[in-house]
């Protein structure tokens, strides 16, 4: 079998007494949209953080396209083609939307030890930024400072920033958190478009979206993967029903 784009093996991460990631093993082949679901506090964000290098695992390994990236710092992983969006919006609040995306394109373009030319006048960077903004429907908001964008627009910008680094693997941590119905629908449409171009790991509480989009789903509970399979298989899975999808657990929308 070909090497999967992402291979996670026996990943463990503790916070004091609790095990937030408990021997997680996961494979995501190139081209797949892999959803990770689980109740609040299951360890989804913690897992994403370890994949991107914002958080170091205590044991286990992470391979990207066959290369061991378990110990690489976040910026190196980004250079290797990993991009993320944050559950809690994480942008340069005092920069314009265009600047946010252009900086991502700039990171992609190599080192930034250039001290003299006006970076905002670099055609290549601006064009890359505009095309990413267009992609998410924010082209007409390019010149607006992030702190003046609506929550929904900021979520879209998160995605544009991630796209501008031209990633192989996109890690999305609840891209729909806090979005209204129309905004959510737009995001789903966008993701179903994007999945044709890039491998995606999607963490999401919106079950409708997850089951519509995912090729495969892994269910995380108390840091453990209790099931992994196609949407149909997950729907049928008894353990998942008991632990998560069943009626004793109300699946809440985040907001």
Q: Could you tell me the smallest distance in angstroms from the CB atom of residue 54 to other proteins?
A: 7
Q: Could you tell me the smallest distance in angstroms from the CB atom of residue 206 to ligand ATP?
A: 12
Q: Could you tell me the smallest distance in angstroms from the CB atom of residue 45 to Mg ion?
A: 3
Give residue number: closest CB to Mg ion.
45
Q: Among other proteins, ligand ATP, Mg ion, none, what does residue 104 contact (CB within 5–8 Å per kind)?
A: other proteins
Site for other proteins in 165-184 (CB under 8 A): 165
* Three-state secondary structure of the chain: CCCCCEEEEEEEEEECCEEEEEEEEEEECCCCEEEEECCCCCCHHHHHHHHHCCCCCCEEEEEECCEECCCCCHHHHHHCCEEEECCCCCCCCCCEHHHHHHHHHHHHCCCCCCCCCCHHHCHHHHHHHHHHHHHCCCHHHCCCEHHHCCHHHHHHHHHHHHHHCCCCEEEEECCCCCCCHHHHHHHHHHHHHHCCCCEEEEECCCHHHHHHHCCEEEEEECCEEEEEECHHHHHHCHHHHHHHHCCCCCCCCCC
Site for Mg ion in 37-96 (CB under 5 A): 44-45, 87
Kindly indicate which of the ranges 89-97, 184-192, 203-211, 235-243 contains the residues binding other proteins, using the contact rule CB under 8 A: 89-97
Report the interface residues with ligand ATP, using CB under 6 A.
15, 18, 20, 38, 40-46, 87
Q: Which is nearer to other proteins, 53 or 57 (by Cβ)?
A: 53
Of 2, 16, 40, 94, which lies in the binding site for other proteins, with binding defined by CB under 8 A? 94
Binding-site ranges for other proteins (CB under 8 A): 52-54, 73-75, 78-79, 83-84, 86, 90-95, 99, 103-104, 106-108, 112-120, 122, 161, 164-165
């Amino acid at each position: 079998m070909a090497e999967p784009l992402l291979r996670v093996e026996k990943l463990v991460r503790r916070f004091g007494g609790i095990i937030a990631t408990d021997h997680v093993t996961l494979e995501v082949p190139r081209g797949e949209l892999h959803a990770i679901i689980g109740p609040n506090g299951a360890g989804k964000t913690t897992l994403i953080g370890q994949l991107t290098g914002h958080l170091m695992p205590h044991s286990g390994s992470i391979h990207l396209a066959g290369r061991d990236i378990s110990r690489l710092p976040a910026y190196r992983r980004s250079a290797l083609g990993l991009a993320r969006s944050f559950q809690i919006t994480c942008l340069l609040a005092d920069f314009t939307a265009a600047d946010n995306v252009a900086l991502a394109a700039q990171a992609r373009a190599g080192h930034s030890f250039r001290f003299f030319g006006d970076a905002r006048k670099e055609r290549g960077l601006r064009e890359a930024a505009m095309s990413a903004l267009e992609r998410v429907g924010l082209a007409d908001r390019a010149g607006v400072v992030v702190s003046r964008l609506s929550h929904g627009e900021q979520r879209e910008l998160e995605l544009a920033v991630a796209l501008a680094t031209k990633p192989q693997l996109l890690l999305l941590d609840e891209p729909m958190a806090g979005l209204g119905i129309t905004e959510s629908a737009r995001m789903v449409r966008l993701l179903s478009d994007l999945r044709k171009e890039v491998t995606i790991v999607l963490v999401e509480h919106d079950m409708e979206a997850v089951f519509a989009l995912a090729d495969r789903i892994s269910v995380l509970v108390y840091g453990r993967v209790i099931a992994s399979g196609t949407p149909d298989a997950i729907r049928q899975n008894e353990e998942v029903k008991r632990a998560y999808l069943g009626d004793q657990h109300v699946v809440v929308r985040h907001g």
